[in-house]
Amino acid sequence: MAQHNLQQTISLLGRTPAALDALLRGLPETWTLCNEGENSWNAFDVVGHLIHCERTDWMPRARTVLQFGETRTFEPFDRFAQLRENRDKSLAPLLDEFARLRSDNLTELRALNLQQEDLERRGRHPALGVVTLSQLLATWAAHDLTHLHQISRIMAHQYRETVGPWSIYLGVLQCAGHSS
Amino acid sequence: MAQHNLQQTISLLGRTPAALDALLRGLPETWTLCNEGENSWNAFDVVGHLIHCERTDWMPRARTVLQFGETRTFEPFDRFAQLRENRDKSLAPLLDEFARLRSDNLTELRALNLQQEDLERRGRHPALGVVTLSQLLATWAAHDLTHLHQISRIMAHQYRETVGPWSIYLGVLQCAGHSS
């Protein structure tokens, strides 16, 4: 198992809500409500997805590992919940909600005072099979980064034509690293 | 020419320093000083690059367009300046410097009170040839996003092994959209 420094993970997890807030709050909707075409997500949808993860994914699954180990498979995650839940909302309250849920979840995580042997405990993912608590918590942080990466790409897409010939120099416009 | 709303560009440009500050200030150096291998950049290098752009790229080139049009080719940009300039610095003062330079540049940009006919003015890029002021300013914003995208990818790379089997679900770990 790759070495996992939990404090390092928590330090990133604690910063994501403020980073997204600084980037997105008050931005014109051309940036936050436009997507990459067809059924792709916009930045607003991504924040909704992060909220749904705070509610149903990371800490609920961590609790499942600690209580039931491999004997109880994680609840499957609903990737489209935010498209139903946030239809009539605006971005600012979603940013507030994300910050509040993240803060509560990190308070709970710190209170668990997990030790190395806890991080090695195993749970069962519905598609991936056996995973460790360490992998779950590392994924929580990397998942923040995958969506910051995605938001950057979605927003840059809005300027794909506007930048003219510079597009060949802008790595984000060549990105094929879509979240699945 | 694709339609370009300059207020929309400025609203993004004004947020990037605070977003990077919220994400990076005080983060453990495992996140900010590790790169993607070989001679790739870490997050610290990227912030240094953004500073160098504020000093020598965007507004200096905008001035060149407005004063000389296509008759004066832009100074070539030094993509490696920050690797020399910031050797003995730490991240926090670089974040401060980026915020200050960006703020000064946006003050100057707003004071120009550019109109649609100004945005259509043409300059000459050393490699791309004729470009418009509109394209230059749109690229300034998209360039912020390309580097936010890059920083997310660089940091996620540090957890490539730690996330275990979840790596297949994390789009950022499949990204091949490198900045050039």
Q: In the beta sheet, which residues pair with residue B129?
A: B125
Size of interface A-B (CB pairs under 8 A): 219
- Best mutation target among A159, A167, A168 (most B Cβ atoms within 10 Å) is A159
The DSSP secondary-structure symbol of A135 reads H
| SS3 of B3-35 | CCCHHHHHHHHCCHHHHHHHHHCCCCHHHHCCC
Q: Return the closest-CA partner of residue A151 out of A17, A35, A57.
A: A35
Kindly state the average pLDDT of the residues B137-153.
97
pLDDT, position A179: 55
Select from A135, A155, A164 the Cβ nearest to the Cβ of B164: A135
Mind listing the pLDDT tens digit for each residue in B59-96?
A: 999 999 999 999 999 998 888 888 888 888 999 999 99
pLDDT band at B131 (very low <50, low <70, confident <90, very high): very high
Q: What is the ipTM of this complex?
A: 0.95
Q: Return the closest-CA partner of residue B151 out of A153, A53, A167.
A: A153
pLDDT, position A84: 84
Mind listing the pLDDT tens digit for each residue in A43-67?
A: 999 999 999 999 999 999 999 999 9
Q: How far apart are CA A171 and CA B151, in angstroms?
A: 12
pTM, rounded to two decimals: 0.96
**Chain B nearest CA to A66, separation (Å):** 18
Mind listing the pLDDT tens digit for each residue in B96-127?
A: 999 999 999 999 999 999 999 999 999 999 99
Q: Divide the 180 residues of chain A into consecutive groups of 10 and give the mean pLDDT of each group.
A: 85 98 97 94 96 97 98 90 85 98 98 97 97 98 97 96 96 76
Q: Which residues of B142-152 are buried (b: 16+ CB within 10 A; e: fewer)?
A: bbbbbbbbbbb
% helix, strand, coil for chain B, step of 5: 65, 5, 30
Residue of B nearest to A163 (CA): B135
* Residue A89 neighbours by CB distance under 10 Å: 14
Residue of A nearest to B132 (CA): A164
**Chain B nearest CA to A72, separation (Å):** 18
- Does pLDDT of B50 surpass 50? yes
Q: Percentage of chain B with pLDDT > 90? A: 86
User: How far lies A70's CA from each of A3, A119, B132, in Å?
Assistant: 22, 14, 60
Cβ–Cβ under 8 Å, residues B61 and B123: yes
Q: How far apart are CA B179 and CA A174, in angstroms?
A: 9
**Chain B nearest CA to A86, separation (Å):** 24
Q: In what helix (H) or strand (E) does residue B124 lie, and over which residues does it extend?
A: strand B122-125
Q: Return the closest-CA partner of residue A11 out of B48, B18, B35, B29.
A: B29
- Does pLDDT of B33 surpass 90? yes
Cβ–Cβ under 8 Å, residues B150 and B46: yes
User: Would the CB atoms of B165 and A5 count as touching at under 8 Å?
Assistant: no
Q: Identity (one letter) of the amino acid at A142?
A: A
pLDDT, position A77: 87
Select from A15, A169, A175 the Cβ nearest to the Cβ of B22: A15
Kindly state the average pLDDT of the residues B159-164.
96
- Does pLDDT of B1 surpass 50? no
User: Would the CB atoms of A11 and B5 count as touching at under 8 Å?
Assistant: no
- Does pLDDT of B169 surpass 90? yes
Q: Are strands B122-125 and B129-132 parallel, antiparallel or unpaired?
A: antiparallel
- Does pLDDT of B53 surpass 70? yes
